[in-house]
Amino acid sequence: AQSVAQPEDQVNVAEGNPLTVKCTYSVSGNPYLFWYVQYPNRGLQFLLKYITGDNLVKGSYGFEAEFNKSQTSFHLKKPSALVSDSALYFCAVRDVKNDYKLSFGAGTTVTVRA
Partner 1 sequence: GAGVSQSPSNKVTEKGKDVELRCDPISGHTALYWYRQSLGQGLEFLIYFQGNSAPDKSGLPSDRFSAERTGGSVSTLTIQRTQQEDSAVYLCASSLQEGNTIYFGEGSWLTVV
Q: How far is the CB of 113 from partner 1 (least distance, A)?
A: 24
CA–CA distances in Å: residue 18 to residues 63, 68, 91: 11, 19, 19
Parallel/antiparallel/unpaired status of strands 10-14 and 108-113: parallel
List the one residue from 18, 28, 42, 80 that touches partner 1 (CB under 8 A): 42
Under the criterion CB under 8 A, does residue 101 sit at the interface with partner 1?
yes
CA distance 100 to 114: 40
CA distance 49 to 34: 4
Query: What residues form DSSP beta bridges with 48?
Result: 35
Under the criterion CB under 8 A, does residue 103 sit at the interface with partner 1?
yes
* Window contacting partner 1 (CB under 8 A); options: 19-27, 65-73, 75-83, 100-108: 100-108
Under the criterion CB under 8 A, does residue 36 sit at the interface with partner 1?
yes
Which residues would be at the binding site for partner 1 (CB under 8 A)?
32, 34, 36, 42-46, 49, 51, 90, 94, 99-107
